[in-house]
Amino acid sequence: MGTNGVAVAGSTAETNGMALIACGSALPAISVSNQQLSERVDTSDEWIRTRTGIGARRVAGPEESLTLLATQAARAALAHAGWGPEDLDLILLATSSPDDLFGTAPRVQGALGATNAVAFDLTAACSGFLFALITAGQYLRSGTMRRALVIGADQLSRWVDWNDRTTCVLFGDGAAAVAVEACPAGENGLLAFRMRSDGSRHGCLTLAQTAEQQPVLSGVTAQLGGFSPIRMNGQEVYKFAVREVPAVLNELLEATGTAAADLNWLLLHQANQRILDAVADRFAIPQERVLSNLADYGNTSAATIPLMLDEAVKDGRVRPGDLIASSGFGAGLSWGGALLRWAGPRG
Ligand code: COA
C-alpha cells in the first residue's frame, strides 16, 4: 500500500483473506436510566424492559463529539492490535450522525495521525458497521490495502424527539472500532456475507430533512438545510427484522454448509431483546450463545455490533477461532449478515 489510499498491490495467494484482529470502544460518561426517562415522558422501567430489554443508555454531552468518541475507540483498537496509526491504509466510519455532513472520518484520521490512511464515512443506519466491515474486506481481500479500521459510531440522542416516548427510550450513543488486516485465504475471517436494501420501505424509519424554504433570488427558492427528529413505525420495523434477519442468516449458513449448532456466537444488531430472542429461537441457539448488552446501552445504531464484540472479547467470551453469525438491520430499509471468525491479535 502506498500513501493515502493509493493502491499498489494486486491480489496474491498471501492476501485474499481478511482477519479480524482487535477492537476497542468508547462511551459517553452519562448513563440515563429508564426511571429517569419516566420523569420526562409517560413511560416506565417495566414497560421499556419488557418490550425492549433496555435498562439504560448513554447520552453524549456537548463536549463528547462523534469525532472524540470514534477517535477514542480507534485508539483502543489500535493499542490492542499493537499497531501504530501510520500502519493504517483505510479508516471507514459507519455513522448516520456525523459531526460534519461532509464527513467525520477525516477528522478521526487527523486526530489519530493516521497519515497513510484514506478515511471516509459510510451511511447505512444500523446496518452501517456490517456494511463497512464488508466494504473494508473488499479492499483487503483484493490485495489493494493491508490494514484498516472499521468504526461504528452514532449519537442518535442528538436526533431523537425527547418528547416522543416511542423512540427516545430506544436509542443511545457510543462508538467502537475493529482493526482488520489482509491475511492468507486459509485464515480468512469474513467467511460469507449478504447485503440488502429496500428503499420502497424507507418511510418506516427516517431522520429526514425538514422542508423549510428560503427565497434566495427572484424566482429561486432553496431549501434550508436541517433535519427532523427520528420517526419510526415500530411495529413495521419489528416485523421486518424478525422476517429478514433469519432469512439472511439462513442463506449464510446454507451457503457455507454451516449448522447453527456450529456457531459460537449470535451477534445481532442490538435493537430489541425480543428480536434477539426470536432470531435465536428460529435457529435453536441457546441464550448463553446470544450476545446482548441492550440492558446497559440500548440501540447505539452503527455502534452496537462492534461495541458488543469489544465487550465480549474483553471479558473472554469471544476467543480466537470463534465462529460468529452477525446481522445488522435498520433504516433504509437496509439489512445484511456476515459469518465471521474472530482471529485476535497476531503473536
Ligand atoms: N412507554 C409506554 N408506552 C409506550 C411506549 C413507552 N416508551 N412507547 C409506546 N407505548 C405505547 C403505545 O403508545 C401504545 O399505546 P396504545 O396501545 O395506547 O396506542 C402501546 O404502547 C403499544 O404500542 P406498540 O407500538 O404496539 O408497542 P410494541 O409492542 O410494538 O413495542 C417497540 C414498541 C418500539 C418497542 C417495538 O415495536 C419495537 O421494538 N420495534 C422495533 C423498533 C426498532 O428496533 N427500531 C430500530 C431498528 S434499527
As a dihedral over the C-alpha atoms of residue 57, residue 60, residue 66, residue 69, rounded to 10 degrees, the angle is -80
Give the 3-state secondary structure of residue 106: helix
Please state, in angstroms and rounded to a whole number, the distance separating the CA atoms of residues 120 and 131. 13
C-beta separation of 341 from 322 below 8 A:
yes
What is the number of the ligand 1 atom nearest to the C-alpha of 165?
7
Catalytic hit among 23, 126, 183, 204: 126
Of ligand 1's listed atoms, the one at least distance from the Cα of 171 is: 46
User: Is residue 338 a contact partner of residue 190, using CB atoms and an 8 Å limit?
Assistant: yes
Ligand 1, atom 33, lies closest to the CA of 234
The yes-or-no answer on residue 299 being catalytic is yes
How high is the pLDDT of residue 1?
45
pLDDT score of 7: 45
Q: Which residues span the domain enclosing 4?
A: 1-347
Which pLDDT score is estimated for 2? 42
Q: Hey, is 208 helix, strand or coil?
A: coil
Q: Is 183 a catalytic residue?
A: no
Residue 121: exposure state from Cβ atoms within 10 A (0-12, 13-18, ≥19): buried
**pLDDT confidence of residue 14:** 63
Q: What is the predicted pLDDT for the residue at 346?
A: 85
Nearest CA to ligand 1 atom 38: 234
Let me know if 126 is a catalytic residue.
Answer: yes
**Rounded to whole angstroms, how far apart are CA atoms 287 and 299?**
19
E strands, the chain, in order: 17-26, 30-33, 56-59, 90-94, 118-122, 147-155, 173-183, 190-197, 205-206, 213-217, 220-223, 231-232, 265-268, 323-330, 334-341
Q: What is this structure's pTM?
A: 0.95
Which parts of 159-296 are beta strand (E)?
A: 173-183, 190-197, 205-206, 213-217, 220-223, 231-232, 265-268
Cα-based angle 45, 283, 22 (whole degrees, multiple of 5): 75
What residues of the chain score a pLDDT lower than 50?
Answer: 1-3, 5-11
* Total structural domains within the chain: 1
CATH number at residue 110: 3.40.47.10
pLDDT at 12: 52
Residue 211's pLDDT is what?
87
Residue 265 has a pLDDT of 98
Decide: 308 and 270 in contact? Cβ < 8 Å: yes
CA distances from 145 to 60, 64, 85, 114, 115 (A): 33, 31, 15, 14, 15
